Amino acid sequence: MSTRDTIGILGGMGPKSTAPFLDAVIRQCQVQYAATTDIDFPPIMVYSLPTPFCLDRPIDHTLMERTIIRGLQRLEATGVAYIAMPCNSAHIYYEALARSVSVPLLNMISETVAQVPLGACVTLVATPITHESKLYQQGLERLASTLSLSLRGCRGSWN
């Protein structure tokens, strides 16, 4: 990444998750690029997308996917070099979302799982939707098979 590439962030899916993610991006710019003054930071375009999600109702997956795709395309139209989505649950639709834009869509699940140290036991703290989707569980199982790890050595279960 060039420090002049515009970073796209599709937030608002859990509006409170956007600000901590943006803060983490800023911190990483300081660490990775020694950014200290305003001019040292890359441009960042944040789009806070309201989605049709309510905790007390079933998700309309077709409407949710369509809404997120429209948000990604709107963000892409601003000229971003790639897009990050700090919403775990939105990654349920990752394949279709990634196909809907021509810029790379970072996969937060894959990026997170790739950081798990060899032989580590992992505790997943997540919303019921993220837990039930098994996004992280499947990612960790792929990692385990790739690295020949046993998932049985950890206390607890995948359920």
Domain boundaries, the chain: 7-106, 112-153
Architecture of domain 7-106: 3-Layer(aba) Sandwich (3.40)
Q: Do 33 and 1 contact (CB within 8 A), yes or no?
A: no
How far is residue 83's CA from residue 75's CA, in Å, rounded to a whole number? Answer: 8
**pLDDT tens digits, one per residue of 78-104:** 999 999 999 988 999 999 999 999 999
Q: Residue 82: beta bridge partners? A: 7
For the entire predicted model, the pTM comes to 0.84
Which DSSP category does 18 fall into? H
Torsional sign, CA 125, 130, 136, 141? positive
End-to-end CA distance of the chain: 38
How far is residue 96's CA from residue 115's CA, in Å, rounded to a whole number? Answer: 24
Of 54, 114, 137, 46, which is closest to residue 85 (Cα–Cα)?
46
Give the other-Cβ count within 10 Å of 75's Cβ: 24
Which DSSP category does 47 fall into? E
More confident residue, 147 or 140: 140
Query: Residue 149: is its pLDDT beyond 60?
Result: no
